[in-house]
Amino acid sequence: MSTVLITGASRGIGAQCALLFAQKGYDVAVNYNHSAEQADALVQELCSCGVRAIAVQADVSDSMQVSKMFQTVKAELGEVEILVNNAGVARVGLLTDMTDDEWDKLISTDLSAIFYTCRAALPDMIRAHRGVIVNIASMWGEVGASCEAAYSAAKAGVIGLTKALAKEVGPSGIRVNAVSPGVVMTDMMQGFSDEDIAALKEETPLNVLGTPEDIAEAVLFLACDKARFITGQVLSVNGGMVI
């Protein structure tokens, strides 16, 4: 069975992706940066599905750590055939209040990290003439969000990278797509009040907010053979907020 590596997989969307892939029989590498306890607990749950799973610590904004992560995964689970780039951070605030360090951290985590992981994954995929990459973007990368200029810029970059890389590696039998979530109830929503949540629901045509399961199901679809003729696409999962 194929090996899938999911970045930022210790909780939220990444953890749900890991569970779905394990339930379908995939071996799973759970990348985390700080949440070792959560990652280890998730690995135990994944192994109960009858698959192999490991937790791999790496700050994906650091290219050297990414290289070591891929070496570890290959040694323990084999070559990565499916890469899910989920790790990311967000920041809400005026662009004029943003420091150089804050900008660099966000761009390196949300955009540069995807360059590092794709670069590390592609040689084996190209050699095998197969592979799938699914990048987690955002609806704000499609249309932009006030007070989230840096985040919007990074996610727009993810979308551009996805489309360009799909053309570049398509002849090698590799598919590259993105899932673009809307408002999803994850840790990133902790700073929002009940009133904020209610207002966001009202802005969503379906009148509900997304769950990690909603996004994970879209990722799984794009990774499986049912999507064999889909590449370079952005699948928007946002309840109709952005059309």
Q: What is the pLDDT along the chain (243 residues), one digit of tens a residue?
A: 699 999 999 999 999 999 999 999 999 999 999 999 999 999 999 999 999 999 999 999 999 999 999 999 999 999 999 999 999 999 999 999 999 999 999 999 999 999 999 999 999 999 999 999 999 999 999 999 999 999 999 999 999 999 999 999 999 999 999 999 999 988 777 778 888 899 999 999 999 999 999 999 999 999 999 999 999 999 999 999 999
By annotation, the residues acting in catalysis are: 151
Q: Give residue 196's pLDDT.
A: 87
Q: Give residue 61's pLDDT.
A: 98
Mean pLDDT, the chain, integer: 97
Q: Give residue 237's pLDDT.
A: 98
Taking CA atoms, 135 is separated from 33, 72, 119, 226, in Å, by: 18, 21, 13, 18
- The set of residues, in sequence order, having a beta carbon less than 8 Å from that of 183 and lying 6+ positions away, is 189, 200, 204, 209, 210, 238, 239, 241
Side chain identity at residue 118, one-letter code: C
- Quick one: fold of 3-235? Rossmann fold (3.40.50)
Residue extents of the structural domains in the chain: 3-235
C-alpha triplet 107, 160, 120: angle, nearest 5°: 65
Residues present in the chain in total: 243
Q: Give residue 191's pLDDT.
A: 72
Q: Give residue 190's pLDDT.
A: 72
Q: Rounded to an integer, what is the distance from CA 237 to the centroid of its chain? A: 13
